[in-house]
C-alpha cells in the first residue's frame, strides 16, 4: 500500500481552508471576469479530443495552485503511476487496477499479449455478426447490469450515427420482468444474438434474465445446439458460463473493475454496433487520454484539475452534488453511466486503513440531456437555495443535417452557463416588464421572484464531433478524474462493499415470498412483505 498523508492532515488542506475563508467565500465570477480579460484563456485546458472551459468555476489562480499542492502532498501522481504499473492498488480485494492496459497499443501495456488476443477474437466475432447477410442476425440483446450494461448501453446510444443500420441493439438489465418482457416480444429467435455479460456470472439479475431468455428461445422451437450459436458469454468466470450452456465466451480479468470494463469484451455490443474499426478508435481515444493523464504537467492536466475541482467543491465550498448536462441527445445515458463510475467508486466513508472519514467524498452525480433538463430541474439550479456545479458538454459538429436545430441546442447550452453565472439583480428585474405576473402584486415582490443570484459555477466541455475516438477520450477523462478525487480522499475507489448488504438481505427475504414467514423481521419489513406477497 502507498503510504500518504491523509488529505485533511496536510498543510495544503489547511491553506485551502484559509483561502476559502479569506477569498473563496466572497469570490464572484462576474467580478473575476470584469477584472481579468485573460480569465477564459487562463482557465482553458486542452486534452485529447476535449477542450474544457474551467473559467466559470468558483476558483482563482491561488485556489488552483493550492489544489495542485494538495495533490502533490497526497501523492496523487505516485498513486497514478502505481495504478498504471499494475500495482495492487485495490488493496481490499488484493487486485491491480488495469483498465488502461485494455486500450494500450499492442505490445505497449501490461498483459498486452492476452489483452490483444481476446480483443482480436472479440472484434473478429463482432464483424462476423455485422455481416448480417451471412450471420442472419438482426437483433442483439445484451443481458447484464451495472458495469456490464451501463457502458455499452451509453456508448451504443452515443455512437448511433456509426451503428450498423441493419442491427437493432437491445439492453436488458433489470430483474424486474417489465424490462425483458417487451424486448422478447419484439424478437425472432433465429435472428437474435444474446450476450450474457457478467464479470462474475453470479449476479442475480443477469442470471435470472439469462434463464428467462434461454427458455424463451427454446420455446420458439430452437434447440440446445441453437443456444450454443445464439448465446455468447462475456465473463471472468468461463466455467459458470459453460454450465448455462454458453460455449462461445470472451474472457477478461479480475484487474478490470465492472464499472471500468467497457474497454474489455464487455464492450462486445459496442463492437457489434460500430464495428472493429470504430471500437479500436474508441480505445485509441481512451489511450490518448491515459497518456495525457500520465504525462501532461499538472498545470495542463485536465483530469487532474477536474478531480481537484471536485474536491474543492465538495470539501471547501460545501457542494454535495454535481449535475451533468450533455447537449447531445446521443449522450442521454451518460449521467447514468457516470453515477456508477463516480458514486460506486468514491461513495466511501473509510480511508485505506479503514479509519472513518471526517470529510465528504463522492458527490451525487445526476443529470439529463439539454435542453430537456432546462424544462425540468434547471429552475432549482438557477434559483434554488443550493449551489450545484453544472457540467455542460457541447459537441460542435452534429451527425444530423438540421443546422437550425443544432444552432439552437448549442445556443441554449451557452445561455444556461451564462445565466447561471450572470444572474439578475432585483433592480434589473424591476426595470423589466413582467406580463405574466399577477397584476395585483406590487412590482418589488414580483422583481424579487424574478431575480437570480448568479455566481453559480459551471464547466463546459467542447468536443468537435461525437466520434468513437472522442467518446473514448471523454469516458477516460471521467475515469481519471474520479481516480484523482479518490486519491486525494485516500479511499479505495475500486471496491464496492456497499452493494453487499442489500444482496444478502434479499437472499434472506426471497424464500419468505413463498412461506410468508416474517419471523425475526423488523415491523416495517414484515408489514410491507405481507402487503406485497
Ligand atoms: O452490485 C454491483 C456490481 O458488482 C457492480 O460493481 C458491477 O458492475 C455489477 O454489479 C455487475 O456485476 P457483474 O458484471 O459481475 O454481473
pLDDT in the model for residue 209 = 98
283 half-sphere exposure, CB direction, 13 A CA radius: 30
**Is there a catalytic annotation at residue 344?**
yes
* Probe residue for ligand 1, chosen from 93, 203, 493, 507 as the CB with the greatest number of ligand atoms within 8 Å: 203
Please tell me whether residue 143 adopts helix, strand or coil conformation.
strand
- What's the gap in Å between 151 CA and the centre of ligand 1? 12
This prediction's pTM: 0.97
**Is the separation of the CB atoms in 478 and 338 below 8 Å?**
yes
Supply the DSSP symbol for 362.
Answer: P
| Radius of gyration (C-alpha) of the chain in whole angstroms | 25
51 burial (CB, 10 Å; 0-12 / 13-18 / 19+) is: middle
Q: Give me the catalytic one of 49, 69, 342, 344.
A: 344
Is residue 23 within 8 A of residue 85, CB to CB? The reply is no
Contacts 24+ apart (CB under 8 A), 370-375: 370/325, 370/326, 370/327, 370/409, 370/412, 370/413, 370/416, 371/327, 371/409, 371/412, 373/323, 373/325, 374/412, 374/416
Q: How far apart are CA 360 and CA 316, in angstroms?
A: 10
The reported pLDDT for the residue numbered 5 is: 81
Which listed residue (114, 375, 408, 432) is catalytic? 375
Nearest-5° Cα angle at 248, 258 to 166: 85
Cell representation of residue 110 = 501490461
pLDDT at 506: 96
The protein residue whose alpha carbon is closest to atom 8 in ligand 1 is: 147
Residue to substitute in 145, 343, 344, 347 for testing ligand 1 pocket (most ligand atoms within 8 angstroms of CB): 145
Q: What is the pLDDT of residue 92?
A: 97
pLDDT-flagged residues of the chain (< 70): 1-3
| Cβ(492) – ligand 1 distance below 6 Å | no
Q: 173: Cβ below 6 Å to ligand 1? A: no
**What is the CA(386)–ligand 1 centre distance, in A?**
33
What ranges in 314-393 are assigned the alpha helix state H?
334-338, 345-346, 378-383
**CA angle (467 as vertex; 464, 471 as ends), nearest 5:** 90
Distance of CA 182 to the CA centre of its chain: 27
Centre of ligand 1 to C-alpha 415, Å, is 39
Please indicate whether residue 55, judged by its CB atom, sits closer than 6 Å to ligand 1. Answer: no
Q: Is residue 203 within 6 Å of ligand 1 at its C-beta?
A: yes
Amino acid at each position: 500500500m502507498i503510504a500518504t498523508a491523509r488529505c485533511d492532515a496536510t498543510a495544503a488542506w489547511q491553506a485551502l481552508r484559509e483561502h476559502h475563508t479569506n477569498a473563496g467565500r466572497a469570490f464572484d465570477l462576474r467580478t473575476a471576469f470584469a477584472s481579468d480579460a485573460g480569465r477564459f484563456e487562463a482557465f482553458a485546458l486542452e486534452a485529447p479530443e476535449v477542450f474544457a472551459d474551467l473559467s466559470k468555476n468558483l476558483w482563482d489562480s491561488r485556489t488552483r495552485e493550492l489544489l495542485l499542492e494538495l495533490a502533490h502532498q497526497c501523492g496523487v501522481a505516485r498513486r497514478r503511476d502505481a495504478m498504471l504499473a499494475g500495482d495492487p492498488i485495490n488493496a481490499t480485494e488484493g487486485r491491480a487496477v488495469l483498465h488502461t492496459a485494455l486500450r494500450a497499443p499492442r505490445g505497449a501495456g501490461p498483459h498486452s499479449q492476452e489483452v490483444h488476443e481476446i480483443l482480436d477474437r472479440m472484434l473478429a466475432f463482432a464483424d462476423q455478426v455485422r455481416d448480417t447477410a451471412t450471420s442472419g442476425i438482426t437483433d442483439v440483446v445484451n443481458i447484464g447490469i451495472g458495469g456490464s450494461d451501463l457502458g455499452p448501453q451509453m456508448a451504443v446510444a452515443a455512437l448511433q450515427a456509426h451503428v450498423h443500420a441493419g442491427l437493432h441493439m437491445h439492453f436488458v438489465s433489470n430483474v424486474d420482468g417489465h424490462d425483458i418482457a417487451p424486448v422478447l416480444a419484439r424478437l425472432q429467435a433465429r435472428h437474435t444474438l444474446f450476450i450474457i455479460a457478467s464479470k462474475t456470472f453470479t449476479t442475480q439479475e443477469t442470471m435470472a434474465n439469462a434463464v428467462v431468455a434461454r427458455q424463451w428461445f427454446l420455446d420458439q422451437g430452437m434447440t440446445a445446439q441453437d443456444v450454443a450459436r445464439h448465446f455468447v458469454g462475456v465473463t471472468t468466470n468461463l466455467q459458470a458460463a459453460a454450465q448455462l450452456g454458453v460455449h462461445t465466451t470472451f474472457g477478461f480479468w479480475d484487474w478490470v473493475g465492472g464499472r471500468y470494463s467497457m474497454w474489455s469484451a464487455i464492450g462486445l455490443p459496442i463492437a457489434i454496433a460500430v464495428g472493429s474499426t470504430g471500437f479500436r478508435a474508441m480505445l485509441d481515444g481512451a489511450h490518448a487520454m491515459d497518456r495525457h493523464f500520465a504525462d501532461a504537467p499538472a498545470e495542463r492536466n485536465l483530469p487532474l484539475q477536474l478531480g481537484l475541482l471536485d474536491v474543492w467543491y465538495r470539501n471547501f465550498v460545501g457542494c454535495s452534488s454535481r449535475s451533468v448536462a450533455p447537449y447531445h441527445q446521443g449522450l442521454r445515458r451518460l449521467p447514468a453511466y457516470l453515477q456508477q463510475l463516480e458514486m460506486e467508486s468514491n461513495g466511501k466513508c473509510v480511508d485505506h486503513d479503514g479509519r472513518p472519514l471526517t470529510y465528504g467524498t463522492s458527490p451525487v452525480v445526476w443529470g439529463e440531456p439539454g435542453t430537456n433538463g432546462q424544462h425540468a430541474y434547471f429552475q432549482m439550479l438557477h434559483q434554488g437555495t443550493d449551489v450545484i456545479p453544472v457540467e455542460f458538454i457541447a459537441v460542435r459538429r452534429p451527425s444530423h443535417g438540421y443546422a437550425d436545430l443544432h444552432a439552437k441546442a448549442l445556443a441554449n447550452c451557452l445561455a444556461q452557463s451564462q445565466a447561471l453565472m450572470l444572474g439578475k439583480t432585483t433592480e434589473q428585474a424591476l426595470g423589466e416588464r413582467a406580463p405574466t405576473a399577477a397584476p395585483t402584486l406590487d412590482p418589488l415582490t414580483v422583481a424579487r421572484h424574478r431575480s437570480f443570484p448568479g455566481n453559480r459555477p459551471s464547466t463546459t466541455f467542447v468536443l468537435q464531433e461525437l466520434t468513437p475516438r472522442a467518446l473514448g477520450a471523454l469516458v477516460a477523462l471521467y475515469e481519471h478524474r474520479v481516480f484523482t478525487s479518490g486519491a486525494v480522499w485516500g479511499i479505495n475507489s475500486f471496491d464496492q462493499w456497499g452493494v453487499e448488504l442489500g444482496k444478502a438481505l434479499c437472499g434472506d427475504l426471497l424464500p419468505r415470498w413463498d412461506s410468508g414467514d416474517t419471523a425475526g423481521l423488523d415491523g416495517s419489513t414484515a408489514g410491507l412483505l405481507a402487503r406485497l406477497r
